Amino acid sequence: MTTTSNPTRDQLRQMWSGVAGAWATHVEYVDARGRRLSDRMLELTRPVPGERVLELACGTGGPGLDAAPLVEPGGEVVVSDFAPEMTAVAAGRAQSAGLANVTARVIDLEQIDEPDGSFDVVLCREGLMLVPDPERGAREIRRVLRPGGRVAISVWGPRERNPWLGVVFDAVAEQLGAPMPPPGKPHPFSLSGAGRLAAVLRDAGLACVEVAELSVPYRAASVDEWWERTVALAGPLAARLAALPPEAARALHRHAAERIAAYSTPAGLDIPGVCLVAGAVSPEAAAR
């Protein structure tokens, strides 16, 4: 794999590598919460037998694993992430599920180490907004797409409509007396602004770009479960919280827990969440 020596990128990779174990622990929750997104992404891209599918920023393996049976016989899926610890989990899951046509690779989505025009379908669930240069990532996606190729990308919607994470960011910002996420750093809501995701994909040369909202609520048995899971999975956030003095960490937890309790129901927490799901095609496909 070719990579730049940009220290920010290396730090980001280390942060995500550091939470890969937590993603493996919480894989059932990740799968359940991502289910509607994956289904929608496969509806948009419709992989068929014989095709090649690339999943970027796959984490423990998302829609790429679901696509594997759809491209049989003769097709294959590459699940990829820039954190080798994540691809190892995805590879293990593919093997356990008997998906012989899945390969796992370490790939940075901003510099995809694959030839031009080599995939029929590219999928990226909750990854593009986390890279320093999403425009570059989108151009790379366009580059590896074959004529006739299809793309589906999902990202988190606006922070105020995702209190399951927004509440934690608010509490961290109050505790540190500084904006959270820090300005200039990639973050979960960086592509949530009106028209932003569509513009990034269109500017990369993709065609027929359509973006729609999908409700992705966060359910948890208790406030404690929500807190532990959210902090464990949120790569950059996990590192910031771990660096706090114990008293500050306890105060932050208390403030966040008080706010999230507003979403309590008799069955546990039911917190709103909204994603944006984009579908697009290669310009050659649009011209047909």
Residue 126 as a binder of ligand SAM (CB under 6 A): the answer is: yes
Q: Is 273 a binder of ligand SAM (CB under 6 A)?
A: no
Among candidate residues 52, 279, 287, the one with its CA nearest the CA of residue 146: 52
41 to 100, contacts with ligand SAM by CB under 6 A? 56-59, 62, 81-83, 86
Out of 16, 119, 218, 226, name the contact with ligand SAM by CB under 6 A: 16
Choosing from 51, 66, 76, 110, the residue that interacts with ligand SAM (CB under 6 A) is: 110
Residues in the interface with ligand SAM (CB under 6 A) total 21
Give dist(CA 224, CA 38) in Å, integer: 27
Least gap, CB of 159 to ligand SAM (angstroms): 15
Least distance to ligand SAM, CB of residue 108, Å:
4
Q: Is 140 in the site for ligand SAM (CB under 6 A)?
A: no
Least Å distance between CB 88 and ligand SAM? 12
Q: Which of 22, 26, 34, 230 binds ligand SAM (CB under 6 A)?
A: 34
Kindly tell me which of 130 and 191 has the beta carbon lying closer to ligand SAM. 130
Binding site for ligand SAM (CB under 6 A): 12, 16, 30, 34, 56-59, 62, 81-83, 86, 108-110, 125-127, 130-131
